[in-house]
């Protein structure tokens, strides 16, 4: 801890709170508020990580969240950035992307072959011979990627939330704070976002103790706290800007979906690297990184430093370093005219050696390439190249680079902004912006603190005016005076080719030259071939240097060359944040808990939970299902059918409306009777079926399939409007519970519980009655879906459990059993009843489904009628038939959708199937070519292992073809 500076108001650390932590198995101590990189640097550890491709040693470089070489993992989280990761007691972390640890990383051998691995070598090397590709792929997958995901780790629940504001201000630097405070004074709800843990931005690290910085800092931080309609979120990144001012905010805990009406983007600039030999080694870093180390973390960044400058910021950096006790070996100024401000004089007064018109040719490495020991400095010639005839050698342990800035433009691009290059500043500036997006501060080309504040106020007032809360004057933009803050080409070639442009992907200058030689002379093509900007920082430190290189290679201007765009995310977002809290709605009937308590195996039926079957001791699943079905056939069973769609249709046009919706006839349907109905879409495809109950002259009650109820109801609402029908439609699906009591004993069981006369003459098959069951108002319908005497009982949801329990109690003496979906499917299959969406598909018409009998004759209109009539005249291509299997001892058994073959030709597919039935043999329902639909026709079903199972076509229904079980003759039914 010997490298710490005296406490200062800009520091983020608390020197009273030591924090022990481990890195690569070694114990260290930092302070509360330290990030990993600052704590390591303070402990004298400069070698932090390995680069992605060549596994070169790397250290702190930007201290601004872009140091991807210091990516670490703690066993639970991976790819954490060391220049952002705040240390905490007990933190035990390791660098990612190493084999055998950071020091002994075996992958570092790749650097020995670096000359053989230029960009694009993957494309050229691994596509032939083809048979070797699986080997290549395996090796590449082994070494690719950075951190490892711990699949055994517990799931971290991360909330996701929504937020709204009138104005979003991104960046809490001087400009952003001024914008937020100004807007908040105009009765707007303002949200200010900054990725750092404290507000202030560059006020806190760039010459922080000068009067303008101190004043602005104290004023605006105070005002931020006092504005009730201003919310400041620190430690939060804007991950993306989407259409309609939808903005994704990400902090370490959650993703916030923010909707704003306008935005001020005061996102600042990124300081840019200079390209020279070994510019990536530990000890070479941005000037702003050194300032952050000093002013935020109280860390002395160097003992002896060489500063490479191309602007005033480099000179100020030298003064800051001297103040911190750093010895300046040399200030190297790339500009031929040197520094025009009084900073030059101030630096020289401190007896600093200043080399004007010079550049750094090489950072001289120590043995092992894990640190530097000096800088080779050469004069810059008239063409901007280094003249190696004169080399000055300076010993140092650190090289600090301060050669220019590029705007943090990602969010501005995403918000719809476009940029143009401004040569006065040697920087991109916003050229066009959407009406509700405003840019201020350094990203807008404004560099002095007072000007940044004024620019923030300007942007805020413009936004407030856009939002209709201000119509006064708006200050103008102060133009930059003096030399450009950015050098136009701080890039120097070197024969040894370790002058990196992109640190993420280890792309050096010659890689670009080679790519250009191969014809990749367009910025988008160059990006994809070299992969520049495609690493974890998404080119924040490399993209613009790549554009400069391409512009020079093409002999074009920056504007002619163009830039690549930016897409979300600004920084990587943990997948857990994107997933957030899982909202997976599950629908449950009122009887759900009873089912669970009574050993039901629950299953999903769409979004609903239903009992598949009820477990029985010593019985397999198949035996339990068959047992339930047998109970229904011989005694009585009860099934929860609450998920059925239930819709009331009331009004003067109720009957005529249903005539138009369903294919059948309902105008002459008697009150107290039900009819089966099928509904088609305009193409004649069956979309729904159910019962249509007439409760009164002007009131019907219809049911729909469980999964199709909502869509069917919406369809009814639409047709009621289109057909101008005077009806009131009410979807009561969740308002009513329903259960089906079925079996020969059902009448005897139910009669004592109801005030309705259940005798066959009073309440015949397909009759409907309203009355009470177990003291609860109910609709009773005599339906025969499962092929037995039965009553469908519809009651208010809140009372469904009461009725169910009453029926189960009463049923004990009749050996009642609850039955589940599987038994119901078997029973209705035996009865030959189809299930829409199960036995039909999105192309099935009534003729194919064998329900043409449900189409009313001579109807003037029903939805799909025109198509149905056309289909009626066309030859059938398939028809739903029954299949009976001659034996059930095949090793592999067919499943739904298995294909049916005849003489080796595919002739159909299975839709429903049951290996065990109450009939004693396996049965199925299937689509088959009509030529083969004749009873007893033998077919083969292709099952697993290319084996065939033989079945024969059978008449349907398999069970009770004369409806004897319903106490009704065919004549009566018709």
Partner 1 sequence: MSDVLTNSGVGLRRRMVTSSSISDASTRRSPIHDWLLRRAPQWRDWGGMPTVGYFESVESEAQLAKTLGLCDVSGMSRHDLRGPDAESWLQSQGWEIPVALHESTLIPGKGRIIRLDHDEFLIEGSVLANIEPLSISSPSERVVDVFHFQRQDATFLLTGGRAIEVFAQTCGVNISKCESGRVIFSRIAGINASIFPDKIGTVPVYWISTGSDLGWYLWETLIEIVEELDGRIIGMTCLLSS
Residues that bind partner 1 (CB under 8 A): 159-164, 257, 259, 581, 583-590, 592-593, 608, 642-643, 648, 650-652, 695, 726, 728, 730, 732-736, 770, 774-779, 794-799, 801-802
In the complex, the smallest distance separating the C-beta of residue 576 from partner 1, rounded to whole angstroms, is: 15
**Residue 159 or residue 519: which is nearer to partner 1 going by CB?**
159
CB atoms within 10 A of CB 606: 15
**Residue 694 or residue 833: which is nearer to partner 1 going by CB?**
694
In the complex, the smallest distance separating the C-beta of residue 505 from partner 1, rounded to whole angstroms, is: 38
Which of 733, 833, 835, 747 lies closest to 791 in space, CA to CA? 747
In the complex, the smallest distance separating the C-beta of residue 670 from partner 1, rounded to whole angstroms, is: 18
In the complex, the smallest distance separating the C-beta of residue 784 from partner 1, rounded to whole angstroms, is: 21
Which of 909, 906, 897, 912 lies closest to 839 in space, CA to CA? 912
- Three-state SS string over 725-744 comes to CCCEEEECCCCEEEEEEECC
- DSSP string for residues in 826-879: HHHHHTT---TTTT--TT--TTTTT-GGGSPTT-S--TTHHHHHHHHHSPPS-E
**Residue 581 or residue 813: which is nearer to partner 1 going by CB?**
581
In contact, 35 and 84? CB cutoff 8 Å = yes
**Residue 291 or residue 733: which is nearer to partner 1 going by CB?**
733
**Residue 412 or residue 591: which is nearer to partner 1 going by CB?**
591
In three-state secondary structure terms, 529 is helix
**Residue 638 or residue 907: which is nearer to partner 1 going by CB?**
638
In the complex, the smallest distance separating the C-beta of residue 773 from partner 1, rounded to whole angstroms, is: 10
CA distances from 325 to 41, 202, 313, 322, 839 (A): 16, 22, 18, 5, 83
What is the β-pairing status of strands 284-286 and 14-23? unpaired
In the complex, the smallest distance separating the C-beta of residue 262 from partner 1, rounded to whole angstroms, is: 16
In three-state secondary structure terms, 229 is coil
Burial degree of 461 (CB within 10 A; 0-12, 13-18, 19+): buried
In the complex, the smallest distance separating the C-beta of residue 585 from partner 1, rounded to whole angstroms, is: 5
**Residue 130 or residue 584: which is nearer to partner 1 going by CB?**
584
**Residue 259 or residue 866: which is nearer to partner 1 going by CB?**
259
Burial degree of 104 (CB within 10 A; 0-12, 13-18, 19+): exposed
- Three-state SS string over 888-949 comes to CCCCCCCCCCCEEEECCEEEEEEEEEECCCCCCCCEEEEEECHHHCCCCCEEEEEEHHHEEE
In the complex, the smallest distance separating the C-beta of residue 720 from partner 1, rounded to whole angstroms, is: 13
**Residue 117 or residue 163: which is nearer to partner 1 going by CB?**
163
- DSSP string for residues in 672-720: TBEEEEEEE-TTS-EEEEEEEEEEETTEEEEEE-TTTHHHHHHHHHHHH
**Residue 212 or residue 574: which is nearer to partner 1 going by CB?**
574
Phi, then psi, of 535 in degrees rounded to 5: -90, -170
In the complex, the smallest distance separating the C-beta of residue 726 from partner 1, rounded to whole angstroms, is: 8
**Residue 408 or residue 731: which is nearer to partner 1 going by CB?**
731
In the complex, the smallest distance separating the C-beta of residue 874 from partner 1, rounded to whole angstroms, is: 41
Phi, then psi, of 301 in degrees rounded to 5: -80, -20
- Three-state SS string over 457-490 comes to HHHHHHHHHHCCCCCCCCCCCCCCCCCCCCCCCC
**Residue 4 or residue 254: which is nearer to partner 1 going by CB?**
254
- DSSP string for residues in 345-391: HHHHHTT--EEETEEEEEEEEPTTSSSEEEEEEEEB-TTS-B-TTS-
In the complex, the smallest distance separating the C-beta of residue 592 from partner 1, rounded to whole angstroms, is: 7
Burial degree of 231 (CB within 10 A; 0-12, 13-18, 19+): middle
In the complex, the smallest distance separating the C-beta of residue 679 from partner 1, rounded to whole angstroms, is: 22
Phi, then psi, of 311 in degrees rounded to 5: -160, 180
**Residue 795 or residue 956: which is nearer to partner 1 going by CB?**
795
In the complex, the smallest distance separating the C-beta of residue 593 from partner 1, rounded to whole angstroms, is: 4
């Amino acid at each position: 801890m010997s490298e710490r500076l005296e406490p200062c108001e800009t520091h983020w650390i608390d020197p009273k709170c030591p924090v022990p932590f481990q890195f690569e198995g070694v114990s260290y101590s930092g302070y509360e508020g330290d990030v990993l990189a600052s704590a390591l640097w303070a402990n004298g550890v400069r070698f932090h990580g390995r680069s992605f491709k060549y596994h070169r040693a790397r250290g702190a470089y930007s201290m601004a969240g872009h140091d991807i070489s210091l990516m670490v993992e703690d066993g639970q989280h991976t790819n954490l950035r060391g220049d952002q990761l705040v240390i905490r007691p007990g933190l035990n972390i390791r660098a990612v992307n190493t084999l055998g640890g950071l020091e002994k990383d075996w992958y570092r051998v790749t650097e020995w072959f670096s000359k053989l691995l230029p960009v694009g070598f993957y494309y050229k090397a691994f596509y032939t011979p083809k048979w070797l590709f699986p080997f290549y792929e395996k090796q590449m997958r082994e070494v690719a990627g950075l951190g490892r995901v711990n699949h055994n780790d517990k799931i971290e629940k991360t909330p996701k939330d929504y937020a709204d504001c009138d104005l979003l201000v991104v960046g809490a630097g001087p400009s952003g704070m001024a914008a937020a405070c100004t807007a908040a004074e105009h009765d707007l709800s303002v949200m200010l976002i900054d990725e750092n843990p404290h507000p202030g931005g560059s006020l806190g690290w760039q010459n922080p103790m000068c009067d303008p910085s101190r004043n602005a800092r104290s004023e605006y931080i105070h005002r931020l706290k006092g504005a009730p309609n201003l919310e400041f979120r620190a430690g939060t990144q804007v991950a993306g800007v989407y259409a309609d001012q939808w903005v994704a905010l990400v902090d370490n805990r959650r993703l916030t979906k923010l909707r704003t009406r306008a935005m001020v983007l005061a996102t600042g600039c990124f300081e840019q690297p200079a390209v020279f030999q070994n510019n990536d080694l530990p000890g070479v870093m941005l000037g702003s990184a050194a300032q952050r180390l000093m002013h935020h973390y109280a860390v002395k960044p160097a003992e002896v430093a060489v500063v490479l400058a191309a602007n005033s910021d480099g000179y100020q950096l030298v003064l800051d370093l001297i103040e911190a006790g750093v010895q300046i070996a040399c200030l190297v100024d790339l500009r031929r005219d040197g520094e025009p401000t009084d900073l030059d004089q101030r630096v020289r007064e401190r007896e600093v050696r200043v080399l004007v018109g010079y550049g750094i040719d090489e950072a001289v490495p120590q043995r092992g390439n894990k640190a530097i020991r000096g800088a080779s400095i050469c004069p810059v010639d008239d063409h901007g190249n280094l003249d190696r005839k004169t080399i000055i050698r300076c010993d140092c342990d650190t090289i600090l680079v301060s050669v220019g800035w590029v705007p943090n433009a990602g969010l501005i691009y995403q918000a719809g902004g476009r940029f143009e290059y401004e040569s006065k500043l040697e920087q991109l500036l916003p050229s066009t912006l959407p009406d509700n997006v405003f840019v201020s501060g350094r990203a807008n080309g404004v560099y002095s603190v007072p000007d940044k504040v004024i620019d923030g106020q300007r942007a805020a007032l413009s936004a407030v005016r856009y939002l209709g809360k201000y119509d006064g004057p708006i200050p103008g933009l102060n133009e930059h005076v003096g030399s450009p803050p950015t050098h136009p080409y701080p890039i120097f070639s070197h024969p040894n080719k370790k002058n990196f442009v992109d640190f993420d992907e280890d792309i050096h200058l010659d890689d670009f030259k080679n790519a250009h030689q191969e014809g990749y002379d367009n910025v988008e093509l160059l990006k994809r071939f070299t992969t520049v900007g495609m690493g974890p920082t998404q080119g924040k430190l490399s993209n613009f240097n790549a554009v400069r290189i391409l512009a020079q290679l093409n002999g074009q201007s920056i504007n002619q060359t163009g830039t690549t765009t930016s897409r979300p995310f600004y920084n990587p977002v943990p997948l857990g944040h994107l997933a957030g809290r899982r909202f997976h709605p599950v629908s449950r009937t009122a009887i759900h808990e009873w089912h669970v308590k009574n050993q039901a195996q629950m299953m999903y039926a769409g979004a609903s939970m239903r009992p598949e079957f009820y477990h029985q001791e010593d019985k397999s699943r198949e035996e339990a299902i068959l047992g339930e079905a047998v109970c229904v056939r011989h005694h009585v069973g009860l099934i929860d059918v609450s998920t059925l769609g239930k819709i009331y249709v009331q009004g003067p046009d109720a009957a005529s409306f249903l005539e138009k919706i369903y294919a059948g006839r309902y105008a002459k349907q008697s009150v107290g009777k039900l009819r089966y109905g099928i509904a088609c879409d305009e193409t004649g495809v069956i979309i729904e079926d159910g019962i249509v109950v007439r409760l009164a002259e002007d009131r019907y009650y219809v049911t729909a399939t469980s999964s199709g109820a909502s869509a069917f109801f919406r369809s009814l609402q639409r047709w009621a409007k289109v057909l101008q029908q005077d009806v009131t439609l009410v979807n009561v699906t969740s308002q009513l519970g329903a259960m089906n009591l079925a079996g020969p004993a059902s009448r005897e069981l139910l009669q004592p519980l109801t005030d309705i006369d259940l005798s066959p003459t009073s309440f015949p098959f397909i009759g409907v009655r309203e009355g009470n069951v177990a003291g609860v108002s109910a609709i009773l319908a005599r339906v025969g879906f499962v092929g037995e005497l039965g009553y469908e009982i519809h009651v208010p949801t809140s009372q469904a459990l009461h009725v169910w329990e009453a029926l189960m109690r009463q049923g004990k003496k009749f050996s009642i059993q609850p039955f589940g979906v599987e038994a119901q499917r078997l029973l209705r299959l035996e009865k030959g009843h189809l299930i829409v969406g199960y036995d039909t598909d999105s192309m099935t018409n009534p003729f194919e489904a064998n329900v043409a009998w449900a189409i009313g004759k001579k109807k003037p209109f029903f939805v799909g009628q025109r198509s149905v009539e056309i289909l009626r005249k066309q030859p059938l291509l398939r028809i739903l038939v029954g299949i009976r299997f001659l034996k059930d001892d095949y090793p592999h058994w067919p499943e739904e959708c298995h294909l049916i073959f005849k003489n080796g030709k595919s002739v159909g597919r299975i839709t429903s199937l049951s290996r065990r039935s109450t009939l004693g043999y396996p049965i199925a329902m299937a689509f088959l070519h009509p030529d083969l639909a004749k009873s007893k026709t033998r077919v083969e079903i292709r099952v697993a292992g290319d084996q065939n199972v033989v079945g024969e076509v059978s008449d349907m229904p398999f069970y009770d073809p004369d409806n004897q079980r319903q106490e009704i003759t065919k004549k009566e039914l018709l």
